[in-house]
């Protein structure tokens, strides 16, 4: 099962350049094999994005930090060394960026698919 947002033709973005903004996705018990996050951004530059996961209790923990240069359409990929325990929610937050924050898609690949 791929927990991919269907019909996201325009992506998600904050209404203005807001550092610290985030987006949350409910994925309902997915054992994470891989997460792919293609950004929509201009200009390219150094960014920091935090990938957080939570169970049904909504207590988030940090799964990964993406830290480096990113550009429009360059997918950020997180693939844990072994599938993660089932999660209910995935949150992506941006803490550093030279531009507005947007995601074309948040794709969560289930290890049991």
Domain of 53, CATH number, reads: 2.60.120.260
The count of residues in the chain is 113
Could you tell me which residues come within 8 angstroms of residue 14 by beta carbon, excluding any fewer than 6 positions away?
A: 21, 100, 101, 102
Q: Look at the chain and report how many structural domains it folds into.
A: 1
What is the per-residue pLDDT for 13?
Answer: 56
Whether the ω angle into residue 43 lies within 30 degrees of 0, i.e. cis, is yes
Distances (CA, A) of 4 to 17, 25, 38, 69, 97: 25, 9, 12, 25, 24
pLDDT for 14 = 45
pLDDT in the model for residue 20: 61
The pLDDT of residue 19:
53
The span from the CA of 61 to the CA of 44, in Å, is 28
Query: Domain residues for 86?
Result: 2-110
pTM: 0.83
pLDDT (0 to 100) of residue 8: 45
What pLDDT sits at residue 1? 37
CA atoms within 13 A on the CB side of 46: 1
Mean pLDDT by 10 residues, the chain (113 residues): 44 50 84 93 92 93 96 94 93 88 88 84
């Amino acid at each position: 099962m791929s927990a991919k947002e269907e019909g996201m033709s325009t992506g998600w973005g904050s209404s203005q350049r807001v550092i610290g903004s985030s987006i949350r996705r409910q994925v309902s018990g997915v054992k994470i094999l891989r997460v792919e996050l293609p950004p929509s951004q201009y200009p390219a530059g150094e960014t920091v994005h935090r990938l957080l996961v939570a169970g049904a209790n909504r207590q988030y923990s940090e799964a990964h930090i993406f830290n480096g240069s990113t550009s429009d359409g360059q997918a950020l990929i997180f693939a844990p060394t072994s599938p993660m325990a089932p999660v209910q929610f995935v949150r992506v937050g941006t803490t550093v960026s030279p531009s507005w924050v947007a995601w074309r898609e948040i794709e969560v690949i289930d290890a049991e698919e």
